Amino acid sequence: MIKEFEPIAEGISSRIEEWEPKLLSLSNDAVSKKKNSQNRSIKQIVGHMVDSASNNTHRVVHLQYQETPYLYPNYATFGNNDRWISIQNYQDENWEMLVQIWKYSNLHYAFIIQFIDPEKLENEWIASPEKNISLKEMVIDYLQHLNLHLAEISELLE
Q: Does domain 3-157 match CATH 1.10.287.110?
A: no
Residue 45: the pLDDT is 96
Residue boundaries of the structural domains of the chain: 3-157
**Average pLDDT value over all residues in the chain:** 93
pLDDT value at 34 more than 80:
no
Average pLDDT over residues 38-66: 95
Average pLDDT of span 30-57: 91
pLDDT, position 14: 98
At 78-119, the pLDDT tens digits run 668 888 888 888 999 999 999 999 999 999 999 999 999 999
pLDDT at 79: 66
- State how far the Cα of 96 lies from the Cα of 11, in Å rounded to an integer: 22
The confidence score (pLDDT) of residue 57 equals 97
Mean pLDDT for the stretch of residues 51-78: 89
- Position 68 scores a pLDDT of 94
pLDDT of residue 80: 81
